[in-house]
């Protein structure tokens, strides 16, 4: 039977080429698989061949999009950090209300950077393999400093206004971050304690009192 007029007029699709949305879907699926395997098996133990087997994405495609296993981790970080920064950078920090502003920051940071499953997994991956792959922890720290940028600017304003005493704003920002998560506690305990009502305000008040 001959082709209909509609079939003849439809542009032919090249064999072997996937549509852009299909490629994007495959890459998104691959990143989900990579995150799961890195978190479960460790960065060092997860080979590219294993990721190919688990994801169904070819090694050629992986190299074309990411270049290396470290490139995969950086792509995961880019994805997570973009979402995290949208949340954290939207927090309103008012010089006239330091405790309220810092409490809002702590509450947002807890949700976006500590309780978020992907953020938690990436931190675990970097911490567990940091000796063999120091670039993982360096990447985490670089992204953390970038994410805390608006907070550092705000803390400098509080110092200039006499609310806080003179200090390195990088140290101050990481000090508040540590208070928000209680360091390694958030990695080994149930994270319900992070959402206790009034906790963010208590941390903000303690921080301001300690550095005033």
Angle between helices 134-147 and 117-128 (to 10 degrees): 140
Tell me which residue of 48, 38, 41, 46 sits closest to 80, measured CA to CA.
Answer: 38
Q: What is the pLDDT of residue 12?
A: 46
CA dihedral 181, 186, 192, 195 (to 10 degrees): 10
Cβ burial 124-142 (10 Å sphere, 16+ → b, else e) = ebbebbeeebeebbebbee
Neighbouring CB atoms inside 10 A of 11's CB total 5
Q: Could you give the domains of the chain?
A: 16-67 (1.10.10.60), 72-211 (1.10.357.10)
Residue whose token pair is 């395997």: 37
Angle between helices 134-147 and 69-88 (to 10 degrees): 20
pLDDT digits (tens, 9 = 90+) for 167-205: 999 999 999 999 999 888 888 888 999 999 999 999 999
Q: What is the pLDDT of residue 126?
A: 85
Position 3 pLDDT exceeds 70: no
Between CA 84 and CA 62 the distance in angstroms is 25
DSSP 114: I
Looking at per-residue confidence, does 110 or 2 come out higher? 110
Q: Kindly state the percentage of the chain with pLDDT values over 90.
A: 64
Q: What is the pLDDT of residue 154?
A: 98
- 7 pLDDT band, cuts 50/70/90, is very low
- 136 pLDDT band, cuts 50/70/90, is confident
| Mean pLDDT, residues 107-120 taken together | 92
Position 90 pLDDT exceeds 60: yes
- 16 pLDDT band, cuts 50/70/90, is low
Q: Kindly state the percentage of the chain with pLDDT values over 70.
A: 91
Looking at per-residue confidence, does 10 or 158 come out higher? 158
């Amino acid at each position: 039977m001959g082709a209909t007029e509609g079939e003849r007029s439809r542009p032919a699709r090249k064999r072997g080429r996937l549509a852009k949305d299909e490629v994007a879907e495959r890459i998104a699926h691959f990143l989900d698989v990579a995150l799961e395997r890195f978190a479960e098996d460790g960065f060092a133990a997860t080979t590219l061949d294993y990721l190919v087997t688990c994801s169904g994405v070819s090694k050629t495609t992986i190299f074309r999009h990411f270049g290396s296993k470290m490139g995969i981790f950086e792509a995961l970080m880019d994805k997570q950090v973009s979402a995290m920064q949208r949340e954290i950078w939207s927090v309103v920090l008012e010089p006239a209300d330091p405790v309220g502003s810092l409490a809002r920051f702590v509450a947002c940071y807890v949700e976006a950077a500590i309780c978020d499953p992907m953020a938690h997994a990436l931190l675990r991956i970097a911490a567990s393999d940091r000796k063999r792959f120091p670039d993982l922890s360096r990447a985490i720290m670089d992204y953390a400093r970038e994410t805390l940028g608006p907070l550092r600017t705000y803390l400098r304003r509080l110092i200039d206004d006499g609310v806080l005493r003179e200090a390195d704003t990088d140290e101050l920002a990481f000090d508040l971050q540590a208070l928000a998560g209680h360091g390694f506690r958030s990695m080994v305990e149930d994270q319900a304690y992070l959402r206790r009502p009034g906790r963010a305000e208590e941390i903000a008040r303690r921080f301001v009192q300690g550095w005033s």
